[in-house]
Amino acid sequence: MCTPLSWPAVLGWQKHQTQSLATLSKIQEARRNEALLDGAFRIRTSDRLFPFHKVLVAAASPVMERTLMGLDQEEQKLVKDGSSPDRCCCVVTVTSPGIDEGSLALALDWIYYGRVEVPSTDALIGLLRTAEFLGIAPLARECLETLEQAKQGGPGGGRTVLLVFETNIFYPGFSLRFYNSERDNWRSFKTPNLNIKGQFLSPVISIPRTNQVVFLVQQLSSSALCTKVFRLDLNNFRLKELSTLDETTGNHKLVYCEGGVKLVTYFPFTVIRHYNEERNQWEKTPVGNESHVSRVGSCVMSAGGRLFIIGGKFLEVGADFCDTIDVFNSATGRFEVAGRMSVGRAGASCVELGGKIVIAGGYTDTTSPDLSLVEEFDPVTGRLRKLAPMLGRRSDFYLAPCEDGVLVVDDWSTRKDNVEYYDPFENRWSFRRCLDLSAKHVVGVVAVAANLLSS
């Protein structure tokens, strides 16, 4: 006796996975034959097109999926130009100057074939930058693992260590110390005399996956102050002056964002500058609602390739401390509220950890104690959750990724608890070896390859 059919009926395809592989093979063949292509990449400085099938690229890259579906209004790292006069239906222009044609071609090959041959370390770093830019997490992970393997042959292996930049209160120049997390100790790092005179402005930032750092120095020139920007290669201590700022007043912060170095002036006016390597000059990005983020004590950082300004305080009489987490929308040239902290505060420190933003410390009143509060913000979902509080109350300090967690380096020469570590797996803080600053002042904490310290 037949079993009566119930609705809805479920139809299964036993060879679906096999057919999916066959479909992918046909798409690969179509690419080789330049058939059925409906999209293309283009670098903003070139007219060369890199054709692709939109459905395949969108499946591999969430950034491209938002771009092609017209859902990327909160950020325009990619610009959908519309129809191409050639065989492609739409062209997507990559606006970031940190992405080159070779890396883009390699990324497309990886999307189509699942493997790619990378000719050099420089090409691998470029491919990693492109994978992060497009949000292709598996490719970025492969690039990172390959870079770590490439370092294994050198002294110190493929680990990274934290390098602390210190300036002497009484003398020009800087000194370096690095933190050995395995031994929980601090060691001096010998540096040649670079003859840099002037006041270092924090923070010193590193260029990801290179042993290069960028920093600001304020100097007195012809009886007038000028702010200069330098890049230092820690492999050979070659120093290059990038450019001199045309404005010396205001609060400046350097960040590495969208494959390049940006300088954000966030008080008393808001200006975003991107460093153009080819022209050796700073190019301004207009900010339509600069008054929205023109406040003191804000945290300026990059997360997920986007620029954030977090917290701070407006200087108007009676103004409250700001609780907003603002992200820059390059499509509209305006800052938009991405989320809110549980309490408005200034002087907090922030770091990206596992794709989320850790916000720690700060103050809510100049007469009240600093905060030990720590919160985690998810830029994708907009959700905020509390983490375990720090052991010490802190403001205007440094947070840096260390091992799998976060290391706090507090710029207080008098306190003996100025270093502590956060373990995200146990959601717990613990004190680490104190950094004796004496008469020195911390201006940056950056991660570098461990084998640099043995060379």
What are 177-224's pLDDT values in tens digits? Answer: 888 777 888 888 777 777 677 777 767 888 776 788 888 887 766 667
Which of 120, 151, 182 terminates a domain? The answer is: 151
Read off the pLDDT of residues 30-54 as tens digits, 9 standing for 90 and up: 888 888 888 888 887 777 888 899 8
CA separation (Å) from 36 to 25, 54, 59, 150? 14, 10, 17, 39
Same domain, 110 and 223: no
Residue-wise pLDDT for 422-442, tens only, equals: 998 889 999 998 888 776 778
Q: How confident is the model at residue 358 (pLDDT cuts 50, 70, 90)?
A: very high
**The CATH number of the domain where 402 resides is what?**
2.120.10.80
Buried b (16+ CB within 10 A) or exposed e, 5-32: eeeeeeeeeeeeeeeeeeeeeebeeebe
* pLDDT level of residue 153 (50, 70, 90 thresholds): very low
Domain boundary among 118, 151, 184: 151
Mean pLDDT score of the chain: 79
Distance CA 153, CA 222 (A): 50
The confidence score (pLDDT) of residue 249 equals: 62
- Total tally of structural domains belonging to the chain: 2
pLDDT of 86 > 60? The answer is: no
295 & 211 share domain: yes
Residue 24 lies in a domain: no
Domain assignment present for 376: yes
Quick check: is 237 in a domain? Answer: yes
Whether residue 323 is predicted with pLDDT greater than 90 in this model: the reply is yes
Classify each residue of 153-181 as buried b or exposed e, where b means 16 or more C-beta atoms within 10 Å of its C-beta. Answer: eeebebbbbbbbbbbeeeeeebebbbbeb
Tell me, yes or no, whether 139 and 234 share the same domain: no
444 and 323 assigned to the same domain: yes
If asked whether residues 421 and 346 sit together in one domain, one would say: yes
**The whole model's pTM is what?**
0.66
pLDDT of residue 68: 82
Q: Which of 96, 123, 151 is the last residue of a domain?
A: 151
35 and 141 part of one domain: yes
pLDDT at 325: 95
If asked whether residues 217 and 360 sit together in one domain, one would say yes
State whether 133 and 262 are in the same domain.
no
Domain that includes residue 438, residue range: 160-454
212 with 301, same domain: the answer is yes
Q: What pLDDT band is residue 375 in, cutting at 50, 70 and 90?
A: very high
359 and 219 share one domain? yes
Same domain, 95 and 215: no
**Looking at 18-22, 86-90, 406-410, which range is the least confident one?**
86-90
Q: Between 11 and 262, whose confidence is greater?
A: 262
Per-residue pLDDT at 156 exceeds 60: no
Section 91-100 average pLDDT: 77
Cα 424 to Cα 407: distance, rounded to the nearest angstrom: 11
